[in-house]
Amino acid sequence: MRIDRRALLCAGLCLAAPAHLLAGDDFYRGKTLTLIVGFAPGGGIDTSGRAIARHIGRFIPGNPNVIVQNMEGASGVLSANYLDRKAAPDGLTIAVPGRSWHVEGLLKSPGVQFDVARLGYVGSTGTMNSFAWVRADTGIRSFEDLRLAKDKVVFGSLGATTPTAMIPALLAANGVPIRLVVGYTATSRLLVAMEQGEVPAVYLTEDAFAQHQHLIDGKIVLPILQSKPDIPGLPLVRDVLPERQRPVLDLTRSSESLGLMVVAPSGVPAERLTILRQAFLAMARDADYQADVARFEAARTAPLPGEQVEAMMRDLATIATPDVIAEYNSLKK
């Protein structure tokens, strides 16, 4: 029944009144909308966030100016904290914190000040495949090569609870010879380290290579494992891990199932949140926006409406039981 309700929800969104007919449609005229990005400039999160900033203003009644503010730290948690605790809930601040910040909120990790249930969800750009990538000069050409490697292969990663660390940690816990190096503060810095040979392997979405596409095109790095069945013959993460770890994997992969979310503070007036949600969906369907992101993004699923993201977040909270959280935390490095 849950799937049916979401289908009805999406249908309702498609039939909803255009944003310019909503109450308060003059609020944004002459104002500036700030979009906070939870990572440093140059990486995949920043690139995607800036694309949204370039286009979303055209679909908000009053056509506000849109500026980007980078607020890097703790893999997006710093920006989410700011959004929930300090940003005014007036509809003039939204954020793209990153991909895994919400997991920290579900785990109630140290340093987390935000509550995932309080925030307003504008929408998601859609889900995308993630891969384990290795440098070709390692001689590793497949996941089986990695599994049989005599020495541990270093995987560089962002924060300890991002998929960049947690998926390799899950693999290592099941006997795959991996040594995890945690602490890179942005995907751009991680990929520079990979390009320079500092780290031979990473687990990242394809669009994380936005400013480093030459690494893929030149086959300097190769995919050996994937989260979704996009490349025929490439093994899936879920198939190389035991079934008993599926709940932990689902929590870890929630950043992929939820996609790159655009979030507003809690308490934004309902009519303004609706304006932002409808503007986001209209932008996502726009040919100019699609052409812009096609320059740096691989194919992803259709955008997710804010209401659907909100419902998915509630469902995710049911997965995060004390036992699953304990197992999840045991994998942190």
What does each C-alpha distance from 53 to 93, 113, 126, 155 come to in angstroms? 12, 26, 17, 32
Query: Where do the domains of the chain lie?
Result: 2-127+257-330, 130-251
Contacts 24+ apart (CB under 8 A), 137-143: 137/197, 137/200, 138/200, 138/201, 140/201, 140/222, 140/224, 141/222, 141/224, 142/224, 143/224, 143/225, 143/235, 143/240
Residue 5 has pLDDT above 50, yes or no: no
Residue 23 has pLDDT above 50, yes or no: no
What does each C-alpha distance from 192 to 73, 116, 154, 200 come to in angstroms? 19, 32, 15, 11
Report the C-alpha gap between 150 and 11 in whole angstroms.
53
Give residue 160's pLDDT: 82
Report the C-alpha gap between 130 and 298 in whole angstroms.
11
Could you read off the pLDDT of 218-277 as tens digits, one per residue?
Answer: 999 999 999 989 899 999 999 999 999 999 998 888 988 898 999 999 999 999 999 999
CATH superfamily for 130-251 is Periplasmic binding protein-like II (3.40.190.10)
Report the C-alpha gap between 129 and 299 in whole angstroms.
9
pLDDT band at 28; cut points 50, 70, 90: very high
As a CATH number, domain 2-127+257-330 is: 3.40.190.150
β 120-124/304-305 pair status: antiparallel
Give residue 298's pLDDT: 61
Could you read off the pLDDT of 156-168 as tens digits, one per residue?
Answer: 998 887 889 999 9
Mean pLDDT on 305-332:
91
Could you read off the pLDDT of 173-223 as tens digits, one per residue?
Answer: 999 999 999 989 888 899 999 999 999 999 998 878 877 889 999 999 999
